[in-house]
Amino acid sequence: MSDMTSAAAPERLDLAALPTLESYGYDGGREALRRFCANVFQPDGPRFLRTGGGALVLFRHADLRAMAAEPHLSTLAPAQMFGGLLTAPPSDEPPLGFAMADLIKNQLFSSNAPLNPILRKILLNQIGPRPTAALADSTRRLAGEILAARPTGTPVDVVRDIAEPLIGRYWGALLGMTDEEALSAAVEARRMTPMLFLRQTAESTAEADAAARVYRATVEQAVGRSGPGGGCPLVAGIAHDLAAVDIPDDLDHGGYVPRTAGAFLAGNLFDGFHTAALAAANTIHVLLRHPDVLDVLRIQPDRIAAAVSECLRLEPPVIHLARYASEDIAYDGHVIPKGSHVTVMWGAAGRDPAAFPAPDVFDLSRPSQGATTFGGGAHICPGRFAATLMARSLVEALLDSGLSMRRVEGPDDWIDNNAMCQLRHLPVVLEPLAVR
């Protein structure tokens, strides 16, 4: 048994006796997250919760930070995530959900040690802090070009007309995609959103499956062209490193070894295309509500990185993810029994007043240490450098563009029933600053 503390005789956590997540108002999506945080972060609020399905829910910042370091709080492997879908006997008609499962099994999200650190390193060699920082100038230029190409004086949608082209073309340039392919990959990644719904139907699964097929084919086709000898160092690097992996597949815990650079990239860049676009849109959403902050950033552009971090704390793209206890885990006087499913609510922890006083307030001076936007511990998001670079570049380009951006009045358009804080649309109007 792994022991996070020195406390004697910890007690087995009685999951069935915990209050439910739903009773605190959470049923998926950004509005529900807000409701949940207002209900649960009260002086007499609970320490732990459970889902209707019986998973332990961790949502307090201190608990999530401590548990992130626990090696046996494992990620769900493909078989746990997708049941027998991947091992069903072959048939002419693949089962519902197969295209998604067959894509996501290639994502290192669904692997544990010893495979996970090896695959992480392969990805980080290409998209870690150093290679990403080298793209700062070209990303800002790209964001500037996209803004300059949008019409002024008439509504444009930040989600579809700005964030998706930016994110699509960022990855597209690295993967040797045409602009059309790059945009298509971003759009299809968005169409896969029903995969992240808390309550799925046959129809929503079929929709996500259809999008997963197109998304994957688009990425794999480009990567196939630009692989070794095709002039794309990122693709060549991944293909080279992947060929050296010598670990057997283990769909039940360890994970699956992608067979090709195309499969590796399609799997791992799902978040690259999808979640990074949410980050860019959510950042703009928050800044448009805080024009005072934009004014400060205009004068002090060195604070843009801190502003993006605060935007993503306030509107975290990822609300929650699933884990499980692969051994009994002793934690702070409790034992989380082996086999328990655990929901980790990274997005709620960023709004825990014990860690972030006055959590609804945008505070540009707030230290970003301890942020849980990108998770924590051994599985912390390897795409965080790229995602924040893109969001930062968009803000820089906007402030440099000579354009003002104002939101079109109307209710916010968040997608509910979702594990993410995701805007369906964010209509804005761009205007030359001089006529503001």
Q: Binders of ligand HEM among 386-425, rule CB under 6 A?
A: 386-387
Binding mask 74-103 for ligand HEM (x = CB under 6 A): -x----------------------------
Q: Yes or no: say if 356 and 60 are a contact pair by the CB < 8 Å rule.
A: no
For position 382 contacting ligand HEM by CB under 6 A, the verdict is: yes
For position 205 contacting ligand HEM by CB under 6 A, the verdict is: no
Q: Which stretch binds ligand HEM (CB under 6 A): 14-22, 183-191, 263-271, 357-365?
A: 263-271
For position 255 contacting ligand HEM by CB under 6 A, the verdict is: no
For position 281 contacting ligand HEM by CB under 6 A, the verdict is: no
For position 211 contacting ligand HEM by CB under 6 A, the verdict is: no
Q: Yes or no: say if 424 and 163 are a contact pair by the CB < 8 Å rule.
A: no
For position 374 contacting ligand HEM by CB under 6 A, the verdict is: yes
For position 276 contacting ligand HEM by CB under 6 A, the verdict is: yes
For position 317 contacting ligand HEM by CB under 6 A, the verdict is: yes
How many CB atoms sit inside 10 A of residue 244's CB?
Answer: 8
Instruction: Please report the sign of the dihedral spanned by the C-alpha atoms of residue 236, residue 254, residue 124, residue 82.
Output: positive
For position 324 contacting ligand HEM by CB under 6 A, the verdict is: no
Residue 306's SS3 state is helix
Q: Which stretch binds ligand HEM (CB under 6 A): 21-29, 129-137, 181-189, 317-325?
A: 317-325
Using CB atoms within 10 Å of the CB of residue 289, give its burial: 0 to 12 exposed, 13 to 18 middle, 19+ buried.
middle
Pairing of strands 321-325, 341-344: antiparallel
Q: Which residues are within 8 A (CB) of 82 and not within 5 positions of it... i.e. 6 or more apart?
A: 97, 100, 101, 104, 105
Residue 315: both structure tokens together: 């509107």
* Residue for token pair 């991947």: 86
Q: Binders of ligand HEM among 55-74, rule CB under 6 A?
A: 68
Q: Yes or no: say if 237 and 125 are a contact pair by the CB < 8 Å rule.
A: yes
Q: Which is nearer to ligand HEM, 275 or 343 (CB)?
A: 275
Q: What are the residues binding ligand HEM (CB under 6 A)?
A: 68, 75, 107-109, 116, 120, 127, 268-269, 271-272, 275-276, 279, 317-318, 321, 346, 373-377, 379-383, 386-387
